[in-house]
Amino acid sequence: MQNQIETLEVGQFKLTIMCDSHLLLPVKWAFHGIKQQHWSSAVELSSANSFRCPVNVIHCEAGPHSVIIDTGIGEPHPTRKIYDAEFSLQQVVDLKTNLSQAGIEIAAVTAVIFSHSDWDHIMGATVEGQGERQPFFPQARHFIMNGGWEHDEVTGAVDSVANIHLSVLKKHGQLQLLDKMHTVAPGITMIPSPGHAAEHAHVRLSSNQETLFCSGDLFHHPIMITHPDWIPYGNDRENLLTSRQAVIAEALDLNAYLFGAHFPFPGIGKLVKEHDLVKWVPTIIGHC
């Protein structure tokens, strides 16, 4: 596949968006309980039962701070095989190559933010080396909200994807668990937004009166912004609806950009209110 990299500016922040891979999501999961006639005109099916969506990774250069938000699916390895098959993964370009082509030094990355501990957001955080997994970003502090993967350590689910990768970061003293909103760097703030996962957080990037929200997995498709009550199977309905509504309201109030990790590349748009409905509209912003 042809690599996809976009470099943009939000205020004084330089953003680089990289398409890591594509996966197939089952419509019965994403639009659980919603009749097909309501979403079919907005969702392009790749098969009778699924739609294809990208896994987008974003890097923010903010002065001396070099910050990655989610790390994609990572290198091929045994813990990834099950997802390769289940979601028909197609890797576009591996993270190391994407970063190299974008001119981003791995050793210079100062922080990694995980929106949550799902496999397609964390597996790029470690690599195999010298017979064991090692942090991919050796100098970076890694941040995630409490509430998810640490339960696996207690219950013994040592083979969970989150435990395999995040425990490596913990072992190397590079993982910080958060209990509340946290400023990772000036203008870069993690905000708890549970629902898709207990530890889910979105990220607010603010510079020179411009704001962009990185929404993680609050929305798996832009139509979910128009219909925030369309809740994927197995998600916490009450919390996810509350989190979605809060982000939508703030994005509208600030006239902010909204980035979707699984929205069509490069995944950046603005919210437009038409009558009582809110729509996500793809937007081209300043290129570096």
Domains and CATH numbers, the chain: 5-206 (3.60.15.10)
210: left (phi over 0), alpha (psi -120 to 50) or beta: beta
**Strand bridging mode 111-113 / 141-145:** parallel
| pLDDT, block means (10 residues), the chain with 288 residues | 83 96 94 96 91 96 98 85 83 91 97 95 92 94 84 57 88 95 98 96 97 98 98 97 98 97 96 94 76
Residue 26 has which token pair? 């089952």
| pLDDT for the residue 154 | 46
Distance of CA 241 to the CA centre of its chain: 18
As a whole number of angstroms, the distance between CA 92 and CA 54 comes to 9
Residue 38 has which token pair? 């309501």
**Strand bridging mode 188-192 / 201-207:** antiparallel
Helix (H) or strand (E) holding 9: strand 5-10
- Global pTM reads 0.94
